Amino acid sequence: MLTLRREDSPKGVLLPDESRCHPGFFTQETKADQRTAILCVHDVAQLLDPAARRELTHVLTDLARRRLRPAVELVGIERGDDLVLAATLALFVHFKSTRIPVTIVASPQRLSPRLLDRFERAMKKPRLLLKTLEHATFARLHYLIGRGDDAAVEAFAPRLRFVELIGDGDQALCQRLARILDIRKRNLQFMTTRRCQLRCVYCPAEKRDADLGREHALRGLALLLSGESRSFRIDFTGGEPLLRKDWVRGVIETTHERAQAAGKQDSYYLVTNALELDEEFCQFLSGYEVELEISIDGVEATHNRNKIVVDPSVNPYQTLLRNVEHLRRYDIRYNAVLVFTPDTLPALRENLDHVLSLGFGNIAVNYAIGYFWPDELIAEYVNVLVDFVERFDLLDAAEGGEVSTGFFLKNLLHKTEPTVLNSELMLDCDGSLHLLSEWQFPERHRRHPPPFRYGLEELKSIDEVFFTRAQVYHLLFEVYRDEGRELLRIIHNSVHMGLEVSRQLKQRLGTRL
Ligand code: SF4
């Protein structure tokens, strides 16, 4: 049982063998009946130390063996991030043994009533408490980044790893938590090729002459099929995947066959600049559950300025418009992604209207990662989105109702901010698995290989791989902290921008978003 109590620490009697206790972390007390032993945790920050967690587990087991009823009280909680850690510890104990009651004793004088209310409600349901933890850690991080306090951000970073802390290296428990949070993977990005006909100004993908081989792709497919989920998706990305249309076709045919044999539902997502899209390929795609993401940045001048061609005889904008017609003819699902930089933000309104006028019914607007976005530009971006939503009365669409205007802005429904904390898993051309967000700042990789790297052979099931946004942040932080202050500043700014955009949209468009 998990509870939150708004009062001072409980009174009790120290157990005789207090020498067992971890100094400073917890002490033991007994209730008057001498049958219940309370472990009072005085310094929840020590939860970050694995030795302290082991000690706590050991003492709880020992008490049960001695036929004492163990209970845990987390006392002296006076700050928001301590409350987050205390809740993490409560879940740690809960998931190790549900029979042990855990109470967080919080100081109402020092903690905001809203935060306490939120936690009080969440304590009744471990699932809700897990989600509250993620929300609260991000709110705290946002606040620290907003204050520009680098030292405080660094000190806070380890506290974001709550799933790992609760799971404490127990893979089965971590998987259970991932199931509760619904963060298990059902898709895999195939880095089809690292070649591309374009050099978009904001593109983080390193270009070289490397393709994903069939063997690696088949292993990736086996990994997807290994999951519990009844459906899965392959995302073809790159570089430009349509430089390898025959290969993509072969992978889809094989995957579909194996999915049917396994009784699973397969689907495909393909990110493309559309330069190589042709009628024959669209006809093939029309036989499968497919969606294409078309990268279009607005009017011809903006699009062609962003998308620098390797072959100057190609006009990326005109070619795209011509080829998208094939998708329409074969009734294939597609959406548009419009990326803007600080340079093209002043023309965002015009560019968004233009993409809409071209007949794209499903549009996502992405700010480019890797730039520093001052608060004035963030506000300008939000203004454009709000104006767009109000002009076309898109809020019904955000509620999942009828899309009366015939199109919708993906940002309202499907966009998970901050996008820099993308937790997609990517299979690279050499057969290694990576977290996609690792590649968003390519400067680093000129000097070092990316750090998160599973060999395909090491994983038994895709269900072993999951990341909360908090874990992704932690990983990025660890990866880039030695790469200089400037890069870390840009990463923190991207996190800030994502959280700020969500906050402002919610504030201006109401709670329906
Ligand atoms: S088309 Fe895609 S992969 Fe190619 S440069 Fe542009 S963003 Fe990068």
- Which structural domain, as residue segments, surrounds residue 391? 183-509
Q: Which residues contact 447 (CB under 8 A, 6 or more apart)?
A: none
Same domain, 219 and 368: yes
Q: Whose CA is nearest to atom 2 of ligand 1?
A: 239
Does ligand 1 have an atom closer than 6 angstroms to the CB of 479?
A: no
Q: Identify whether residues 104 and 201 lie together within a single domain.
A: no
Q: Is the CB of 199 under 6 A from ligand 1?
A: yes
> Ligand 1 pocket check: which of 208, 240, 429 to mutate, most ligand atoms within 8 Å of Cβ?
240
d(CA 128, CA 434): 29
Q: How far apart are CA 470 and CA 475, in angstroms?
A: 9
267 with 406, same domain? Answer: yes
Whether residue 200 has its Cβ less than 6 Å from ligand 1? yes
The pLDDT value recorded for residue 15 is 45
Identify whether 276 is part of a domain. yes
- Largest alpha-carbon pair distance within the chain? 87
In a domain? residue 159: no
Based on the fold, state whether residues 209 and 120 are members of the same structural domain: no
Q: Average pLDDT across each block of 10 residues of the chain; the chain has 513 residues. List them in order.
A: 64 45 59 72 85 84 82 86 90 84 89 89 89 83 82 79 82 81 86 96 90 95 92 96 98 98 97 98 98 97 97 97 97 95 96 93 90 95 89 62 52 73 88 77 56 67 80 77 77 89 84 47
45 in a domain, yes or no?
Answer: yes
Tokens 């903006």 belong to residue: 302
Residue whose tokens read 């006076």: 78
- Taking the CA atoms of residue 91, residue 95, residue 97 and residue 102 in that order, the dihedral angle to the nearest 10 degrees is 10
Q: How far is the CA of 310 from the centre of ligand 1 (A)?
A: 11
Q: Residues 133, 189: one domain?
A: no
Instruction: For ligand 1, atom 8, name the residue with the nearest CA.
Output: 203
pLDDT at 403: 39
- Report CA(380)–ligand 1 centroid distance (Å): 26
Angle at which helix 375-391 crosses helix 348-357, to 10 degrees, equals 30
Model pLDDT, residue 18: 46
267 with 366, same domain? Answer: yes
Does residue 124 sit in the same domain as residue 218? no
Q: How far apart are CA 425 and CA 259, in angstroms?
A: 20
Whose Cα sits closest to atom 6 in ligand 1? Answer: 200
The sign of the torsion formed by the CA atoms of 55, 61, 65, 68 equals positive
Domain boundary among 122, 146, 170: 146
> Is residue 165 included in any domain, yes or no?
no
Q: Residue 199 CA: which ligand 1 atom is closest? A: 5
Report CA-CA distances (Å) from 170 to 177, 245, 269, 435, 469.
11, 42, 33, 21, 20
- What three-state secondary structure class fits 334? strand
CATH number assigned to the domain comprising residue 194: 3.20.20.70
Q: What is the pLDDT of residue 37?
A: 81
Q: What are the CA-CA distances from residue 440 to residues 75, 191, 481 (Å)?
A: 41, 14, 15
pLDDT reported for residue 33: 62
Mutate to test the pocket of ligand 1, among 193, 295, 311, 320 (most ligand atoms within 8 A of CB): 295
Best residue among 306, 307, 309, 337 to mutate for probing ligand 1's pocket (most ligand atoms within 8 Å of CB) is 307
Q: Are residues 202 and 105 in the same domain?
A: no
pLDDT for res 9: 44
- 351 and 499: one domain? yes
Contact 275, 303 (CB under 8 A): no
239 Cβ closer than 6 Å to some ligand 1 atom: yes
- Into how many domains does the chain fold? 2
Verify that 188 and 134 share a domain, yes or no.
Answer: no
Q: Are residues 138 and 220 in the same domain?
A: no
Strand partners, 268: 234, 290
CA distance 166 to 127: 13
